[in-house]
Amino acid sequence: MKYLLSESVRHFSLPNIRVERKIFADGEFYLRLLDDVKNKDVTIISNILASNILELFLLVDAVRRAEGTVVRMIIPYLGYARQDKIFLPGEAVSGAVVCSLLRQLNIPVVAYDVHSSELFQYLPFDHKSVLPCLVKRLPKKKYAVIAPDHGGVERARMVAALLKAPLQVMEKKREGYSVSITFTGKISGKTALIVDDMISGGATVIKAAKAALSHGAKEVIAIAAHGLFLSDARKKLEKSPISRILVSNTLPVKAGGKIEVVDVSELVEKSVFTR
């Protein structure tokens, strides 16, 4: 299994524009196209990660100067999307900044499983999901689909509809210093399927899994579009009561242990050929 970006290029049998990249001693980034793009329609497929946004702008500039047309940008994983509003006074809304910058390029953008629909006001994405691909890989069971928070309800609803399973939302109630977790419906005797946009440190799905089991779920499976698995997340997930974890290959994730990686390049291929 390869990382989606290279995997998808290989699948498409489309010419791949080679790019030379280097970083100067002062830290400045340099980029040059090594193939001719004159009068060609170019699709850029790139994640937005912590520090590559400038690279994307340089790439678009290089294509345009070489008289090619960037017809669309496909963003399998849009970073910064979790900062979609101000949580603490004085913060920047990084997600809004990134989306507004991308909008200035005036290129149609296709993005997958963006953390927050709040961001659609800054950049009108053609928004798609890899979750149906993951759902196809699930064993047949009696599921109760769980949204681990209210922000993820629409995503989980879509999965519940595909599985024709009930949707339950995990609710956290604070009473003084204690936090109690309940679900909006019964999950007892069912396989709890936790649905999220990403697994980062793993705390969200682990907490939801423990709560589901304590409310009578038979077992817990988790699916998420993007697998970041930061710091010791993999270790924590292996020790957790979750039996299987399915993520896509929008990010370079290695399968292993409980983690299964589903190749979704087929979906990206469709975005390249659909106008």
Could you list the residues that contact ligand R5P (CB under 6 A)?
82, 115, 148-149, 151-152, 196-204
Establish whether 172 is a catalytic residue.
Answer: yes
Burial of residue 7 (number of CB atoms within 10 Å: 0-12, 13-18, 19+): middle
Angle at 107 between CA 46 and CA 58, to 5 degrees: 55
* Cα–Cα distance list, 189 to 141, 202, 265 (Å): 11, 24, 35
Instruction: Identify the CA nearest to 50 among candidates 73, 21, 78, 84.
Output: 78
> Among all chains, which residue has been given the structure tokens 């912590």?
50
CB of 184 to ligand R5P, least distance (A): 17
User: CA–CA separation, 74 vs 76, rounded Å?
Assistant: 6
Q: Which DSSP helix (H) or strand (E) runs through 144? A: strand 143-147
Nearest residue (CB) to ligand R5P, 93 versus 197? 197
**Buried-state track 202-225, b at ≥16 Cβ within 10 A, e below 16:** bebbbbbbebbbebebbbbbbbbb
The amino acid at residue 187 is I
Nearest residue (CB) to ligand R5P, 71 versus 153? 153
CB of 215 to ligand R5P, least distance (A): 19
Nearest residue (CB) to ligand R5P, 68 versus 202? 202
CB of 209 to ligand R5P, least distance (A): 12
Nearest residue (CB) to ligand R5P, 1 versus 230? 230
The amino acid at residue 4 is L
Nearest residue (CB) to ligand R5P, 55 versus 171? 171
Residue among 172, 235, 239, 254 flagged as catalytic: 172
CB of 145 to ligand R5P, least distance (A): 15
User: Helix 94-104 and helix 53-65: axis angle, to 10°?
Assistant: 0
CB of 82 to ligand R5P, least distance (A): 6
**Could you give the residue ranges of the DSSP H alpha helices within the chain?**
4-12, 53-65, 94-104, 131-136, 153-163, 203-214, 233-239, 265-273
Catalytic residues: 172
